[in-house]
Structure 1
């Protein structure tokens, strides 16, 4: 066949990818907190159930795609203005599917004003084997504001015996108070993963891990509350410390269900002790 008649090589199909955006702001109006400034684009949706008695105003994040794939990007912006008290959570655990090469990105920015209490309490993120996931959380806290936040990760679909044997994970936190960087944290797991999970000085066979932070006043009380839970949950490795205006607690465990229970109990105890809220989290956590 003449050279000029050679058919071109077929191109790989261009796959559809999600680029979801969600923006939400809470304001205190006449002694009541209300959600304002809502913006959302697929696959991000916010639901607003009626608050349970004595609970903050809730907003529930839903990703309508049913999970995230390589190349998807989610960008959230959450803000609580002066005096607002609110909880933002997720409807269920988030799934990050195996990637063909691209990275799934989840970017969250949080702003908390003086006198505001904001809870960012997403349920766990499940990393399928082969997932590539990068998550960043940037917090801008005003003096007198407080944020209670968690991030949980489960390594593989444990009910079917899957582990996170290849892929990539990147977690980044940045916390600024009055515009000044006061705490930064980064974690990266990349191939080869097996030695990292096997090492006693690494993840030591963990099935799941979590980070809990309390930013703002009350760090010592929050640390003591988490340590009380740690004494009652010996199957989960828990450490908590205070650095400046942030209390950081780490959770590591070989049983994802036990770790989740320890995180829920810790969050409940911290919010009750510092904000006078119920130790029982919203019902979505117990479904």
Structure 2
């Protein structure tokens, strides 16, 4: 006789520990420059600030777990006060690994006061085969505030012989100025990622891509120089948004190295005197 009572059944394997982290940074302008006012960190989400001589304040986001997989959650909140300026980047490329179940999620929320400026410049996200990932960027700008927003994604690393065949990827942006929605987009791809990236109307076989948005009165003046950098593997357009402007650029490339060759000068152009975050040059 087989005893199927609960006491005799094999124990279920323990649930895998998941990444959970939240970090919040609040900065404001005091004493003639932007300074940290409040900082909160929980779980695997950490923020460090390199020493800088003046504005903008630089903040580096760190996921101490070393990557993401199904069920992991990271949240970032950045608030820049009136007249203040901050540049946000990451310590390294974020890696999204194969998901056994569920999906990994990151959420970033940016708030910029009147006359303030934020540059959201994380390094590339590397998506591996059979990964499941959703990324959300919510931005609230007061009147007179400016923003430079960037998200870059690599579907595998060509130099490492990696290919992304299947998976799920969702990138969602919502940008508001003075409470009014000025930019919204949702990019979804999967489950057959490789096949869809190969379509001419999607990426034409490119494995690396970036979306970059500038909200600033300088947008129109920078359009033609931006187009010269973007070249024929991407595009750039500009619109009027109230008393400001909006420049949207997209780039694609065969790998991350080719993408950076155009992305670096484009960020230097659109970010003005602030240029590149220090970690981008290491």
TM-score range, shorter chain: over 0.9
TM-score by length of 1: 0.91
CA shift, 1:198, in A, is: 1.7
Any conservation in 2 of the 1:182–1:244 contact (CA below 8 Å)? no
What CA distance in whole angstroms lies between the structure 2 residues aligned with 1:56 and 1:4?
A: 66
Q: Could you say which residue in structure 1 is the equivalent of 2:158?
A: 158
Q: Could you say which residue in structure 1 is the equivalent of 2:78?
A: 78
What CA distance in whole angstroms lies between the structure 1 residues aligned with 2:59 and 2:169?
A: 27
Any conservation in 1 of the 2:167–2:191 contact (CA below 8 Å)? yes
Q: Could you say which residue in structure 2 is the equivalent of 1:108?
A: 108
Any conservation in 1 of the 2:165–2:195 contact (CA below 8 Å)? no
The change in CA–CA distance for 1:4 and 1:95 in structure 2 (over 3 A counts) is closer
Say what the alpha-carbon RMSD is for the aligned residues. Answer: 1.7
Instruction: Tell me the alpha carbon deviations over residues 106-131 of structure 1, each in whole angstroms, 9 at most, x when there is no partner.
Output: 00111111111111110000011111
Q: Could you say which residue in structure 1 is the equivalent of 2:22?
A: 21
Structure 1 runs not aligned, ≥5 long: none
After TM superposition, list the pairs within 5 Å mapping 1:1-287 onto structure 2: 1=1, 5=5, 7-8=8-9, 10-51=11-52, 56-231=56-231, 237-245=233-241, 246-272=246-272, 277-279=273-275, 281-287=276-282
The change in CA–CA distance for 1:259 and 1:8 in structure 2 (over 3 A counts) is same
Structure 2 runs not aligned, ≥5 long: none
What CA distance in whole angstroms lies between the structure 2 residues aligned with 1:85 and 1:75?
A: 21
What CA distance in whole angstroms lies between the structure 2 residues aligned with 1:4 and 1:152?
A: 53
Instruction: Tell me the alpha carbon deviations over residues 65-89 of structure 1, each in whole angstroms, 9 at most, x when there is no partner.
Output: 1111211101111111111011111
The change in CA–CA distance for 1:16 and 1:230 in structure 2 (over 3 A counts) is same
The change in CA–CA distance for 1:54 and 1:224 in structure 2 (over 3 A counts) is farther
SS at match of 1:34: strand
TM-score by length of 2: 0.92
SS at match of 2:271: helix
CA shift, 1:54, in A, is: 5.8
List, as ranges, runs of 4+ consecutive aligned residues in structure 1 with deviation greater than 3 Å: 2-10
What CA distance in whole angstroms lies between the structure 2 residues aligned with 1:10 and 1:167?
A: 31
SS at match of 2:249: strand
What CA distance in whole angstroms lies between the structure 1 residues aligned with 2:117 and 2:187?
A: 27
What CA distance in whole angstroms lies between the structure 2 residues aligned with 1:248 and 1:39?
A: 32
Aligned length: 277
What CA distance in whole angstroms lies between the structure 2 residues aligned with 1:82 and 1:91?
A: 27
